[in-house]
Amino acid sequence: MGYEGSPDKRVARLIDANLDRAREGLRVVEDWCRFGLERDDLVIRLKDWRQRLGRLHRDFYKQARSTATDTAAGLEHPAQQDRHNPEQVVAANCGRVQEALRVLEEYGRSDDGALASEAASIRYGLYDLEVSCLNASAGFRRRDRLENCHLCLITSPADDLFERVKSALSTGVDMVQYRSKDADDRVRFREAKALRTLCHDKGVLLIINDRIDLAMAVDADGVHL
């Protein structure tokens, strides 16, 4: 089902606003993927979505625009000021786009089936892309931290392992490499998990020696093979 004529002007006005909102939010995410992550694969998808929405941003919708009479224009929420890194900006804009697309789906169904269909398709695609983008950002941040590490603590089995590591972190250690070749897996998991919490709280990287499965289980920053 495609475009079936001129909808209620009030509906056209909110469709215009949400098309603007969706396209702008996609551009914010696209620019981070382009310049921050250098991920062409994500950029291509985001650019395609913007273009698809742009083709459906009909003149009738734009002509219904009336910013001067919008009582909520310029209204901000305190949470909008609480974005301190690119990942928070990306997450906020993905949420903004997803909400706008949902509005386009709901109000586009009666008069603009093509718009409603495209909005639904893009919204579901964005759910997956958001995860890819945030994971890529986390990986980029870890690599950047790794490149700037100057002091690594390599552990040895000890009854007071946790206290020793905690003491070492206060001296400027950037990274901890957990080594425990002979311990039971349950012991290794317990120790690695405790070290992950400690290192995360201190902003220090945790590398697990040899065991990829253990590194994944405790969400370590990497593995040394």
SS (H, E, C) 106-135: HHHCCCEHHHHHHHHHHHHHHHHHHHHHHH
Please state, in angstroms and as integers, the Cα–Cα distance from residue 164 to each residue in 150, 154, 181, 183, 201, following that order. 19, 11, 18, 18, 16
CATH superfamily ID and name for 149-224: Aldolase class I (3.20.20.70)
Average pLDDT over residues 198-204: 89
Helix locations, 64-182, DSSP H: 86-108, 113-147, 161-169
Report how far residue 201's alpha carbon sits from residue 198's, in angstroms, rounded to the nearest whole number.
5
- pLDDT attached to residue 213: 94
Cα–Cα distance, 37 to 88 (Å, whole number): 15
**pLDDT-above-90 percentage for the chain:** 62
* Total-model pTM: 0.66
**pLDDT given at position 1:** 47
Average pLDDT over residues 213-222: 91
Q: Per-residue pLDDT tens for 55-84?
A: 999 999 999 987 766 555 665 656 555 656
What's the CA gap between 188 and 126, in Å, rounded? 38
On the question of a common fold for 9-146 and 149-224, the answer reads no
Confidence of residue 130 (pLDDT cuts 50, 70, 90): very high
The CATH number, out of the four listed (1.20.1260, 1.20.120, 1.10.3470, 3.60.21), of the domain defined by the range 9-146: 1.20.1260
* Domain extent listing, the chain: 9-146, 149-224
